[in-house]
Amino acid sequence: MKIHILVSASALFALSSSFSSFAPPPGTTGLTIVCPPTAKITCGTSTDPEDTGTPTVSSDCPGRITVTYVDDILPGSDCAAERFDSIIQRTWTATDLCGNSASCTQLIDVIRQQWSLDIKPTSCPNPINVNGSPNATVTIAILGTATQDVTLIDPDSVQIWREHCTAGPVSPESSSLQDVAAPVVVDAFCACGTAGPDGITDLRLGFNRGDLVQGLGLANEPYRSFVRLVVTGQTIDGCSFLATDCVRVQ
Ligand SMILES: [Ca+2]
C-alpha cells in the first residue's frame, strides 16, 4: 500500500458562501469529495490518475485542499483463462485547512493482456487426432506482433486450458523462440490462417498430444467439433496474459 499525494485545489469559498446570506462561517460545513467512475485498464498500462480519473472536491474552508489516494489490490477471477485479472480499490481522501476530511472509493478493473495464438501454425483448421499416438507433439505458437514482443513472456509460466478453466491446465514439454507464423487478422469464431513466417519472432511451444487430449477432455467431444482453448502465462514484468485459438477434434 502506498500513499500518493496528488493535487492541491483552491476551495471555492466565495462561490459556496454566495448560496445563502445565512451561510455559516467558513470551515464549518465540511468538505465534499466525489470519486471518478470505475475505470478499466489492461495490465501493464498506466494506473496514473491522469488516465483513470481524479475526484471532484469542494469546501467552504478557504485555502488549499490536499487530495491523496491509497491503492489496495483485490483479486479478480480465480480462473487464469478469464480476462478479469484484479481490481485496484483506490481510496481517495481530501483534507482542507480547517481540518475537515472526506473519503470515497474508486474501482479500477484490470484485465489480462490478450496475445495472439496459433495452434498448429500454418495448418487450418487445426485438427487434433484424439485417437492418434499419444506421444506425438502438437505445436502451439504465441505470435509476436509489432507491439507484442514474445521474449517478454516467461516460458515456464505458460499453460493451456479449456475455456473458463473447465479442464486443464496442461504445460508444454518444450519452448523456443522462432518465427513460425503470422497472426490472423479476421476476428471471427475460430478463425485460422495458413500464413507462415512474417519476420517477427514467436514463442513456439511443444505439447504432448496425449497430455492435451486427456488433460483437456478432448476425446469426449463430438467428431469434427471445434473447441476453443486458452493459453495463459505471465510476462517478465508481472502481468498475466491469455491467448485463444481453436482445435477441430477428429
Ligand atoms: Ca511470426
* Residue ranges of domains in the chain: 3-111, 113-249
Q: Where are the alpha helices (DSSP H) in the chain?
A: 13-17, 49-52, 209-215
DSSP character string of 220-234: GSPTT-EEEEEEEEE
Per-residue pLDDT of the chain (250 residues; tens, 9 = 90+): 455 555 544 433 333 333 334 445 555 568 999 999 999 999 999 999 999 999 999 999 999 999 999 999 999 999 999 999 999 999 999 999 999 999 999 999 999 999 999 999 999 889 999 998 888 999 999 999 999 999 999 999 999 999 999 999 999 999 999 999 999 877 778 888 888 999 999 999 999 999 999 999 999 999 999 999 999 999 999 999 999 999 999 9
C-alpha cell at 236: 517478465
**Cα-to-centroid distance, 128 and ligand 1 (Å):** 22
In angstroms, what is the span from residue 152 Cα to ligand 1's centroid? 15
Amino acid at 105: T
What pLDDT, on a 0 to 100 scale, did the predictor assign at position 13? 34
Q: Which CATH architecture has domain 113-249?
A: Sandwich (2.60)
| Span from the CA of 147 to the centroid of ligand 1 (angstroms) | 12
As a whole number of angstroms, the distance between CA 94 and CA 96 comes to: 7
pTM reported for the whole predicted model:
0.82
pLDDT, tens only, 207-235? 999 999 999 999 999 999 999 999 999 99
How far away, in angstroms, is 121 Cα from ligand 1 center?
A: 10
Between the CA of 42 and the centroid of ligand 1 the distance, in Å, is 23
Distances (CA, A) of 3 to 6, 72, 89, 157, 199: 9, 10, 13, 32, 45
3-111 and 113-249, same CATH topology: yes
Q: What are the backbone dihedrals phi and psi of residue 21, each rounded to the nearest 5 degrees, phi first?
A: -75, -10
Q: What is the distance between the alpha carbons of residues 122 and 183, in angstroms, rounded to a whole number?
A: 10
pLDDT one-digit tens code per residue, 59-91: 999 999 999 999 999 999 999 999 999 999 999
Question: Which CATH code for domain 3-111?
Answer: 2.60.40.10
Ligand 1 centroid to Cα of residue 116, in Å, is 10
